[in-house]
Structure 1
Amino acid sequence: MTYKPKISGQKEAIFSNDVVSRFELYNSLFLTLPFYKIKDTGTLLPLFIKHCEDGVKQHQNPTEIINSFFEKFSKQEDANEVIDLLFRFIQYIERQVVLFDAVEDASFKKLNTPDDQSSLHSYLSKGIDNKILQTKVEALIEEFSLRLVLTAHPTQFYPGSVLSIITDLTTALKVNDISTINQLLQQLGKTPFFNKKSPSPVDEALSLAWFLENVFYFAAANIQADIDETLAEFNIPSKKVIELGFWPGGDRDGNPNVHADSTLQVSKMLRQILFRCYYRDFRNLKRRITFRGVEDTIAKIQDVLYKNAFDTSIEAENISEDLKAQLEEIRNTLITSHDGLFVDVVDDLIRKVHLYGCHFASLDIRQDSRILRKAHAYCMDRTIEADALTVDTLSTIGEIKQIQQSNGALACHRFIISNCQRATDILQLTDLFLFNGWTEEDLSMDFVPLFETVDDLAVAGEIMETLYTHPFYKRHLERRGNKQDIMLGFSDSTKDGGYLMANWSIFNAKVALTEVSNKHNIQLAFFDGRGGPPARGGGKTHRFYASMGKEIANKNIQLTIQGQTISSQYGSIPSAEFNIEQLINAGISAGIREKHNILLDPLHKNVLDNMAKDSYDAYVSLRKDPLFLSYLEKFSPLTLLSKITISSRPVKRNSGKKLELEDLRAISFVTSWSQLKQNIPGFYGIGTALKNQEEQGNWDKVHKTYQESGYFKTIIENCMMSMSKTDFSITAHFAEDPEFGGFWKMLHAEYELSKAMLLKLADQEALMENYPVEKRSIAVREKIVLPLVLIQHYAMAMLQQQPDEEAQQSYEKLAIRTVYGIVNAGRNLA
């Protein structure tokens, strides 16, 4: 503990010197690049940024700020010229965000140090003198796994071309290669950031596969290699710990553009990309292993890998075991005949084949329970006409078997039932498989209920009790090793019940589900649907897993990574390795300690029960306010999100109908609040809940809970993170709005109350006081994108004046373009 302030101070110094100073240096270089109208844009942008900052401090509204800028610094009177310059400002600021990302990533290793005290090696070392601990660690390793699932949520804006530039720019920045940096900044300035049309689900899959091919393929294998080395050191058999999952092309919940052929195409694409990775590695292996005795095997492997990587007409089959066997032949020959020379190169490829097989990442299928009920009704009564979604459901079930035969059983073995409300939702899905060519004995599928709303979470335990005692499902689980995955959704539960109630409902659901699963001897794995921001389950994710008690199953960590979280936390090999290692360490430390979770003690549970209820009541009261949705529609770009060409998925379910909160996707909901810099889903109600406890004389109890519960402390810290990206001064002029002024004041009052109560609870003077580097990073990013926020609000204000059609289209495009940079800079805003 005594070293933390010193380490924190060192990291602050590194951040100031290596990140902030270098960003300012290279940003000045970037602003002088010879682009279109650079004299105007490069010269005026710094002035515009300063003018925006001053205007906000003086409580001017965005229209006043922008109009006064043009009056003072640029005499454009024509509206089109004003819009043109604002567009060029946006383009530069978007690229400033990328530059800051690259500079920060270049210093990643200096700023992030893994916790060696909770590592696998640390626990095994302690076990040398503690046989009980040794036995415990070995048993945990036998069961432990980490599954990271990449999902196609529309906030990963960068195309592969830009991601490649970021990667190369980061590399050049590490060694201060000025010439290369200059060239890459020029390339960045001329490279389009966005598609002209919305991507198809297959396009999304291809874009997201960039991370599989360029990051996860190496990072996951490197972490697994460290684990293998550690286990070998202590004479423990190797254990595959890391698994990858994939949703694009398989997730059809609310996305009518995903079809059975999309799923098949994506499975083929994943296989082909994987074999290209294998082939690339094998070429390097072949350059080193030039000895006698392995020529024929090397020729065979090269032929197989080449055909699977590049021949699209080949009949695909699962060849992973044959491939490993042939590589083992080479390995044995190297050991017996060539002194083990380059055996590590062969081991690396064997390890990757073991990790990724012929599928790379397991393709999950997801569909809403209401769609599945319709499909079941059709199969029971063929006189009913099958709609398009029913046809797709049945076609997909048929194709899953084909995917498993081609790419292996792990290629596609999970079907997730979203909006799961009753046991029959799962049982009817098993019926659909039996109706469509599968038998009970060969049903190589795992059926995963997804509980999302506060009400569904409350009855999740009862639903699983019904399933565990159902004869057919019981037999099915026995054939699947008595293992059950259950998905819990943070996004919709937050939209439904607010930040604190969502987290507390999920905690209680996990306790109940663990209890009922233990009762029936089922090995339970929770699959957490986490988005980028705390409002959708993001934030300090590894701290959540480290704070689980023995009452919550935690030996199989599964979570989604999505949106800009993918590029911010897993966008490079070093950052991906660090975050994977953090999650593994969190799971191991929680599994070893297996402490009782003190939130289940009457004192602490009662405190959280009451706080969650008060927070829920405050949030629901806000949600039911007649101005709630209209406020978002008027002031945020919510209604324009459907025009952003970044996603195949509609902004809301039931497209074409009147906007209802229930149909609005959580990602659109949270994104809209973040664009306003208000982040309501990330804190609203928590201030009221804490104040109520104080007024009832329970403050000491609440403070004790905060001090003793790592889980509750993490909730509070993530809430602080969300509030650190909130700035009500930008929208202070809303207070004078004749229709929405009172509503804005209510939001602002809860923010101020929440901030005051959280600081008092944490004994801090400023939000995120304990995380100075992250706090500084957020501040720099918020400063970079402040002009984008003001331009967006200016465009939205101009749209309220009902301009002509041409002007309306221009202002809509202006507002839409600001969304990308704001979300990318926030890194976990949507």
Structure 2
Amino acid sequence: MTTAELESRSQTTDVPGKGSIDREVVASAQPHLSRTVVQTEGMRLQPFETLLLELLIEVIESREPEIVPVVKGQRPMTDYSGQQLLNILQAFGIWFQLANIVEQNTVMRRRRDIEINRGVEAVRGTFAHVFANAAKAGVSIDVIEKLLRSARVRSVLTAHPTESKRVTALEIHRRIYLQLIELENQRWTPTERQSLIGDLKTEIELLWLTGDIFLEKPTVSQEVAWGLHFFNESLFDAAPRVQEKLRTALETHYPERKLGCPSLLGFGSWIGGDRDGNPNVTNDVTAATLVSHRQASIERYKKELLLLIKRLSVASHSVTVSDAFKSRLHSALALDPDRELIESRNPGEVFRQFVAIIINRLNATLADPAIDSPGVNSKGYLQPRELIDDLACIETALCDTGCTDLALRLVRPLRNQVEIFGFRTAALDLRENSSTVNATLAEIWREIEGSDAVPPKPDSEAWKSWLMSKLQQPLEAVPEWEPSNLSDKAQSTYGLFLLIANARDHHDSASIGGFILSMTRSVADILGVYLLAKYAGVFADQAGVESCRVQVVPLLETIDDLRNGPAIMRELLTLPLVRRTVADSGGFQEIMVGYSDSNKDGGFLCANWEVSKAQSLLQKTARDVGIPIGFFHGRGGSVSRGGIPAGHAIAAQPASTIEGRMRVTEQGEVVSSKFANRGISEYQIELLAAGVLEHSIKSGQEPELKPNAEFDEAMEALAGLSFVHYRKLAEMEGLVDFYQSASPVEELTLLKIGSRPARRFGANSLDDLRAIPWVFAWTQNRMMVPGWFGVGSAIDQFLSVRSEHGEKLLRRMYQQSRLFRLIMDEVEKTLPKVNLRIAKEYAGLVTDQQLAESVFALIEEEYSRTVNAVLFISGKQQLCEGFPQSMDVWNRRSAIIDQVGHSQVRLVQQFRESEGQANNAVLVQLLMSINCVAAGVGWTG
């Protein structure tokens, strides 16, 4: 999904005259522009799009002039083949990248315009907007303080293979984005402006010359570096600024008491810790990832401190420094081996001296082999809290001397940074499949009980009884067994828990996030993780009272898992061991809900209802047993995988289910669209956090979110009907053969955009296929099945039974149920992206044409049914007439995407006919077409 689609829809406020700045920019650059561009393209381009397209055409004219007519829309792609076709695909791919950058710029400019004209409180998705409305509604400061005390919002970067752009290209994108901002400035002379435009052209030429296809599959360490790129380029700077915006909003609208929320913001990562079906994520890789995270944060602080020491030139004779600070400085100097150098370099500058000591301690922290030998170098910081205290000491001392502005503008941002990122950058989650954990425990069972014994089945009561009995044994009574007797896979799984114990002791104590248990099916699955943790030394024993030092986060992925989740958690949360662990690890139990596999399992409507319903029931269960919970939302980039605009997605969560706590995955191309630039990063971080706080404050009073028995019964019926029709397709004999032939799913494995295999266990089945390639392939063949299939039949059958009453009910739900409206809106926005002509061409690649005709007919009929149902319920005459921005973006792209789609079908056919042998040229063209469609549609998976 493009940035404009993702986020501009979260902001409904607008002002007249938007776009005036860049129109002036383009007007001033008019000698550089061809007036034929917009006319020949037949599209209404934004002014910056016009500028960038003309610059791209200039680059193409100098390098591949024969394809210019295609780029200008004067000749079709079908007239070209070979290298020329490859060049056309590259040109269109670059054009989509440039258009996406313009949309990012547009989102930010629109937001700034609103703030300039109406004040920050008018900008939806800001703390100022949330707290201004809360104060106006009479929400007391006590309520706000209680909420902030436990609020935690985390974006979690994942290495899911959905990013088809290289880091090199992302860096060029960032420079282009910044140059567009520069061009908006009105201070430039005509000569200076032409120079800036020349710089833009240089970057576009670099994009042309930079290969956009991964020649080798990235290693996990390269993926880790990719993730850290976004912290270094934007997040380290953006998050502290968002923290300041929160503080400012609270001081403005609740000035009667000083409120803080240092734990609100934070980040997580799965990159280097997600082992589920990825054999490339080894224990060595995970250990190296933890070190990389640690180094990235500390190096950043050193860089900031070096800047601070240059600026903090406060002479002792010009201020009165407190005795407490002098004493602290004296003690710190006494422990620093460079004391004489520090005092001689900055005589009489006590603040610079203190900063120099901090830098030395950070150098010692980096040099400390902390992961192996804690405390070997006591001169370094053992935990980030010590650094935070030192920075707070400087901040307080500056305030005491009357230098409050210096404290707040120079020191506090760095302290905020350390509070957010610690010595970890992002807390590393570890993910493994329940089947792998159970298989490891089965081997341990044989070691303990005897090699000839047969362990109970993991879903049996005997197995759960064995787990419980071992967990109830005191730590000193843990049975002895020999880990080296385990298989290599089991040794690796057990070794992961040894690594957790080591990291907890020797790294930032928050360096490990949670243990995400994929495919959680029972309480026993979760208890198995607890037992492995106990045997590996991850348990704490305080006066004989044990708890686990890593929280186990059950991942409820399939429809059945979501339905069984409340019963599983009710039993789990009554266990004393689990309750103690929750109390010792933040005070709430986290539960992850998956949008991807549930959609692949049950279809879009059913999955969204089951996820929503599960949250309500899980929250009720948690209240019944007296344990707070928080939800971790496993969302992807596409609508079908939960990639709905953040503001809308949060606003549609069931009432009182967030309560200030939310984690959400940011995957692949979503990461680069949200966090590539500091301005966009600030916006995205604040949008998520403000949305969580707003929902927590007001959702209990919103009629659109309150439980409604009539609406819930209707949703249950619709979800059931949709599920049945979706499963009719999913279980259709031959569907896997159709899917593999009528999409480029097999060729996607050749697009080396991630270290993770497309299938968990290598089986050639729908169940084993991961949700990302499932969505990716349906997107490329333009059927978009995961985003709408089953909705039309569900509504048709619902209305056929309930007739006029059903019509009135669904239209009332469309107006009054935020969840139903969100589902219908997202289906409506997906339907225009379906192209049945391209889809039919893909179906023509299926060997069994009788099968192809049967499956395609089912899809074609359901598409027509769904379009009619959406229009009927919404009362509109045509799709997306209520979403002009979304359709404007799509209409500017669709003609090109369609051309590429038709060419892609032919390329797939050529590649398959050559049996993939000695036809590297066709393969490169095919992969380029896949990249091009992904860039145009705005998502891969």
Q: Structure 1 length normalisation: TM-score?
A: 0.90
Aligned to 2:739: 632
**Aligned-partner SS, 1:561:** strand
Q: Deviations over 1:170-193 (max 9, x none)?
A: 111223320210111122221222
Q: Summarize the alignment of residues 316-395 of structure 1 with structure 2, pairs less than 5 Å apart.
A: 318-337=382-401, 339-340=403-404, 342-343=406-407, 344-382=409-447, 386-395=486-495
Provide the residue aligned with 1:221 in structure 2.
240
Q: Aligned residue pairs: how many?
A: 797
Q: 1:713 corresponds to which residue?
A: 821
Identical-residue share of aligned pairs (%): 22
Change (3 A) 1:763 1:663: same
Q: Secondary structure at the match of 1:528?
A: strand
Question: Structure 1 pair 448/111, CA: closer, same or farther in 2 (3 Å)?
Answer: same
- 2:852 is equivalent to residue 827 of structure 1: no
Aligned to 1:612: 719
Which residue is 2:193 aligned to?
none
Question: Which residue of structure 2 aligns with residue 164 of structure 1?
Answer: 171
Query: Given residue 792 of structure 2, which amino acid in structure 1 is its aligned partner?
Result: G
- 2:67 pairs, out of 32, 37, 41, with 41
Equivalent residue letter for 1:183:
T
Structure 2 contact 538–550 (Cα < 8 Å) conserved: no
Residues of 2 paired with 1:194 and 1:297: CA distance? 49
Q: Which residue of 1 aligns with 2:76?
A: 51
State whether residues 490 and 530 of structure 1, in contact with CA within 8 Å, keep that contact through their aligned partners in structure 2.
yes
1:238 to 256, 260, 267: 260
Give the counterpart of 1:304 among 361, 367, 375.
Answer: 361
* Secondary structure in structure 1 of the residue aligned to 2:281: coil
Note the C-alpha offset of 1:216: 1.6
Give the Cα–Cα distance (whole angstroms) in 2 for the partners of residues 184 and 350 of structure 1: 36
The partner residue of 2:789 within 684, 688, 697 is 684
Question: Which amino acid is the alignment partner of residue 904 of structure 2?
Answer: Q
CA contact (8 A) 1:454 1:497 kept: yes
What are the Cα deviations for residues 440-470 of structure 1, in whole angstroms up to 9, with x where unaligned?
Answer: 4363211100010111111101101110122
* Partners of 1:413 and 1:304 in 2: CA distance: 26
Distance 1:460 1:758, change over 3 A: same
Whether the aligned pair in 1 keeps the contact of 2:591 and 2:632 (CA below 8 Å) is yes
Q: How does 1:84-103 map to 2 (within 5 A)?
A: 84-103=83-102
Confirm or deny: 8 A CA contact 2:604 2:787 kept in the other structure.
Answer: yes
Measure the CA separation in 2 of the matches of 1:27 and 1:439: 59
Secondary structure in 2 matching 1:664: coil
CA offsets, 1:35-73, max 9 Å, x none?
A: 88512233554357x525xxxxxxxxxxxxx2xx24xxx
Residue 773 (structure 1) shift: 1.6
Amino acid at match of 1:163: L
Query: By how many angstroms is 1:542 displaced?
Result: 2.3
Q: How far does the alpha carbon of each residue in 1:125-145 deviate from its partner, in whole angstroms, 9 at most, with x for none?
A: 466677653332222222222
* C-alpha distance in structure 2 between counterparts of 1:145 and 1:5, whole Å: 26
CA-CA distance at 1:715 after TM superposition: 1.4
Distance 1:371 1:500, change over 3 A: same
Distance in 1 of aligned mates of 2:532 and 2:568:
19
Structure exhibiting the larger radius of gyration computed from Cα positions: 2
Within 1, Cα distance between the matches of 2:22 and 2:259?
Answer: 41
Post-superposition Cα deviations, 1:338-393, rounded to whole Å, max 9, x if no partner, equal 63352211111011111111111110000000000011122222266633332221
1:430 aligns with 2:429: no
> Does the C-alpha gap of structure 1 residues 377 and 299 become closer, same or farther in structure 2, counting only changes over 3 Å?
same
Q: Counterparts of 1:129 and 1:750 in 2: how far apart (Å)?
A: 47
Equivalent residues of 1:532, 1:562 under 8 A apart: yes
Please name the residue that 1:579 is paired with. Answer: 684
Please tell me whether residue 249 in structure 1 is matched to residue 272 in structure 2.
yes
- SS for the counterpart of 2:58 is coil
Is contact 1:317–1:406 with CA below 8 Å preserved after alignment?
Answer: no
Q: CA RMSD in A?
A: 2.7
User: In structure 2, what residue type is equivalent to 1:391?
Assistant: Q
Residue matched to 2:751: 644
Contact 2:742–2:842 (8 Å) recurs in 1: no
Give distance in 2, aligned partners of 1:13 and 1:226: 27
Indicate the residue corresponding to 1:62 in structure 2.
none
Residue 403 (structure 1) aligned to one of 472, 495, 503: 503
Q: Cα–Cα, structure 1 residues 10 and 671, in superposed 2: closer, same or farther, change >3 Å?
A: farther
2:544 matched residue in structure 1? none
CA displacement at 1:479 relative to structure 2: 3.0
How far apart are residue 519 of structure 1 and its match? 0.8
Point out the more displaced range, 15-24 or 702-711.
15-24
**For residues 755 and 875 of structure 2, what CA distance do their matches in structure 1 show?**
45
- Partner SS for 2:216: coil
Question: What is the CA-CA distance between 1:395 and the residue it aligns to?
Answer: 1.2
Which stretch of the first structure deviates more once superposed, 415-424 or 726-735? Answer: 726-735
Contact 2:594 2:635 in 1 (8 A): yes
SS at 1:33 equivalent: helix
**Which moved further from structure 2: 279-288 or 702-711?**
279-288
Q: Cα 1:735–1:217, aligned 2, differ >3 Å: closer, same or farther? A: closer
Distance 2:922 2:565 in 1: 46
Match of 1:600, SS state, is coil
CA distance in 1, matches of 2:142, 2:291: 42
Q: Is 1:756 aligned with 2:868? A: yes
Structure 1 residue 546: Cα displacement: 1.5
Shift in Å, 1:122: 4.6
> What corresponds to 2:670 in structure 1?
565
**TM-score of the aligned structures, taking structure 2 as reference length:** 0.80
Closer/same/farther in 2, CA of residues 477 and 624 from structure 1, 3 Å limit: same
Map of 2:928 onto structure 1: 817
Higher alpha-carbon deviation: 753-762 or 781-790: 781-790
Contact 2:911 2:922 in 1 (8 A): yes
SS of corresponding position for 1:7: coil
Q: Is the 8 A contact 2:760 2:770 kept in 1?
A: yes
Q: Secondary structure at 1:199's aligned position in 2?
A: coil
**Aligned CA distance change for structure 1 residues 225 and 639 (closer, same or farther; 3 Å):** same
Three-state SS of the structure 2 residue aligned to 1:294 is: helix
Report the secondary structure of 1:173's partner residue. helix
Deviations 1:381-423 (A, max 9, x none): 2266633332221111111122233332211031010000000
One-letter amino acid of the structure 1 residue matched with residue 508 of structure 2: G
Partner AA of 1:140 in structure 2: L
Question: 2:832 maps to which residue?
Answer: 724
Which residue of 211, 214, 218 corresponds with 1:199? 218
Q: Post-superposition shift, 1:794? A: 0.9
Structure 1 residue 775, shift from structure 2 partner: 1.9
Contact kept, 8 Å, 1:409 with 1:444, in 2: the verdict is no
Partner of 1:61: none
2:159 equivalent in structure 1: 152
2:203 to 172, 178, 184: 184
Does the 8 Å CA contact 2:388/2:415 hold for their aligned counterparts?
yes
SS in 1 for 2:199: helix
